[in-house]
Structure 1
Amino acid sequence: MNAQIDAVILGVVEGLTEFLPISSTGHLIVAENLLQYKDAGETFTVVIQLGAILAVVFFYWRLLLSKLGELFQGRPAGVRFWVNIVVACIPAAVIGLLFEKKIKGLLFTPTVVAISLIVGGIILYVVEQRRSQMAHAEEQAEPDLDSITMRQALWVGAAQVLAVVFPGTSRSGASIVGGLLAGMNRVTATAFSFFLGIPLLGAAGLYSLYKARHTLSQVEGGTSAMLIGTVISFIVALLSVGWLLRYVSRNDFRGFAIYRIVFGIIILILVAMNVLHTTPA
């Protein structure tokens, strides 16, 4: 298939899945495997991921500027917001830096992705099922970021470690589940997950891009493919973020949980049929 067409497909996959609790890494591993796309040094994946991160910055630029202003003015709400971001990012960042090579070398396979999707889907379903059986407050249309405590941020940070270690877990899914278990409502947990993606994925992406700078010319389709994939990822992610916030203000995550389980089973079937390769991506 033409590399530019592959770039469009992968850009759509990245944009759709980066912030939904269904694992963008897992979907990209499977998509690149099926397309037989040669991503030298995972450079293409890193670049288009940055497109999705820019979409969140664009979507929330007014709120981000407001929170920065509050921080520099020493207002408690602004200081607490940025402290919570840092606290929630530290566990995943440390684990990622220490074990990145081992994780990518051993666990970036369709089989591991499938198992992580299924297990994560079951956990997400159970969490939502228990919430539905409790007397719960009405979900709100706007996130209440000022209500997040450091304890809740630590819960989210600890949950995100699972996504770093096991591809297919989903960073957004893990952080959302961590937020729900810590007492956040769905909209706040989802929005907080978006914000955590900016420093975590942004820093990881830029770092990986720097390390892979010598392989840029080896990426299939070259600069044009990376540009196309990044633009598509940005546009689709921008639409996905707005849609997800509206969706979770009226619905729970059980639909995503079922999707994860079904998709994981499909991947295992494709592996058994030798349609997907089981070697690390």
Structure 2
Amino acid sequence: MDYFQAILIAIVEGLTEYLPVSSTAHMIFTSSYFGIQEDDFVKLFQVSIQFGAILAVVVLYWKKFFDFRKINFYIKLACAVIPALVLGKIFDDKIDAVLGNPIPIAIVLIIGGIVLLFVDGRFHTPTVAHEEDISIKKAVTIGFWQCLAMMPGTSRSAASIIGGMQQGLTRETAAEFSFFLAVPTMLAVTTYSLFLKTYEVSQLKGYELLTQSPDNLKMFLVGNIVAFIVAVIAIKFFIGIIKKYGFKPWAYYRIIAGVILLAYFSLNK
């Protein structure tokens, strides 16, 4: 992977991490289309640049994240992230096995789009309009919904937003709680990938892959900076879209993109 490819993947990550379209799927498709070799460093890079996207949420919602008087906010996030931590560890190897095959991911992209179409017209009577009104029980339930995104192509954002709306949250509140929940979730995933996980081919830890060459470390830093800048723009854009149009634009996008990608990868096996 060269610097241009690293920046391209970081742009894709920043654009799609908080949209209900699956950032993992888009990074895999981008890598496949541009012939980026799926080695251990590329796998690490695709996960670790989520750190930049995490910072985008923290910066945009800094008043919420650094208001230490509201301890319930932190408790709810901690409880909501537990299901993903436990199940993510259990299914880590199975998730890695699916990442190398874009065809089932394209199919999941299509199915997720169809689900979003139904969701948009399903929940008409939300009862929770503010994060402060989300109970710990509702937060944990949303955390379990988020676990559906362990199948690449599902979208962590889509799963947690649907879970939030199923729990009575308004569209905007569900989207914002999904952003908040992304911070501990992706921080845990990034930490695990960098310091705890041993990569199968190289038998190295993530930080050892980063320090293996100066270029690896530079690409990691550049990728996180690019992902941060693009994610800030994408979050503001997404909130405006769902307020005005709901989730239908993203549903149609998923279906169209999924069909195109399914056809492309089926013909280019």
Query: Could you tell me the TM-score, scaled by structure 1's length?
Result: 0.85
Secondary structure of 1:130's counterpart equals: coil
Aligned to 1:57: 58
CA RMSD of aligned residues (A): 2.2
Say if 1:18 and 1:237, in contact at 8 Å, map to a contact too. Answer: yes
Deviations 1:64-92 (A, max 9, x none): 111x2222xxxxxxx2x222212221111
CA contact 1:40–1:218 (8 Å) conserved in 2: no
1:154 offset after TM fit, Å? 2.7
Identical aligned pairs, as a percentage?
Answer: 38
- Within 2, Cα distance between the matches of 1:110 and 1:39? 12
Residue 263 of structure 1 is matched in structure 2 by 257
Q: 1:204 aligns with which of 170, 178, 189?
A: 189
C-alpha separation between the residues in 2 aligned to 1:38 and 1:226? 16
Could you tell me which runs of 5 or more consecutive residues in structure 1 were left unpaired when the two chains were aligned.
72-78
**Match of residue 111, structure 2, among 119, 125, 133:** 119
Q: In the TM superposition, what whole-angstrom CA distance separates every residue of 1:247-273 from its partner, at most 9, and x where no partner exists?
A: 222220011011111111111101121
Residue 267 of structure 1 aligns with an amino acid whose one-letter code is L
Q: Give the aligned partner of residue 199 of structure 2.
A: none
**Structure 2 residue aligned with 1:75:** none
1:6 aligns with 2:10: no
Is the 2:209–2:216 contact (alpha carbons within 8 Å) kept by the matching residues of 1? no
| In 2: Cα distance, 1:219 partner to 1:240 partner | 32
1:107 Cα deviation from its structure 2 partner:
5.1
Structure 2 residue aligned with 1:147: 133
Q: CA deviation at 1:40?
A: 3.4
Deviation of 1:219 after TM superposition, in Å, equals 7.8
Structure 1 counterpart of 2:35, which letter? Q
User: Does structure 1 residue 93 correspond to structure 2 residue 85?
Assistant: yes
CA distance in 1: counterparts of 2:266 and 2:244, whole angstroms: 38
1:37 equivalent in alignment to 2:27:
no
Change (3 A) 1:152 1:138: closer
Q: Are positions 1:83 and 2:75 aligned together?
A: yes
Matched, 1:183 2:168: yes
Which amino acid letter does the alignment assign opposite residue 264 of structure 1?
A: G
CA contact (8 A) 1:49 1:233 kept: yes
| Aligned pairs (5 A) from 1:113-262 | 113-131=105-123, 134=124, 136=125, 144-164=130-150, 166-210=151-195, 211-216=205-210, 221-262=215-256
The residue number in structure 1 matching 2:202 is none
Does structure 2 retain, via aligned residues, the 8 Å contact 1:50–1:230?
yes
Between stretches 194-203 and 239-248, larger displacement belongs to 239-248
Distance 1:177 1:11, change over 3 A: same
Letter in 1 for 2:263: I
User: TM-score with structure 2 length normalisation?
Assistant: 0.89
Q: Secondary structure at the match of 2:32?
A: helix
Aligned residue type for 2:91: F
Unpaired stretches in structure 2, ≥5 consecutive residues:
196-204
May I ask how many residue pairs the two structures share in their alignment? 258
Q: CA 1:196 to 1:4, structure 2 compared with 1: closer, same or farther past 3 Å?
A: same
Residues in 2 aligned to 1:8 and 1:94: alpha-carbon distance in whole angstroms: 32
Offset, 1:5:
1.2
1:270 alignment partner AA? Y
AA aligned opposite 1:173: A
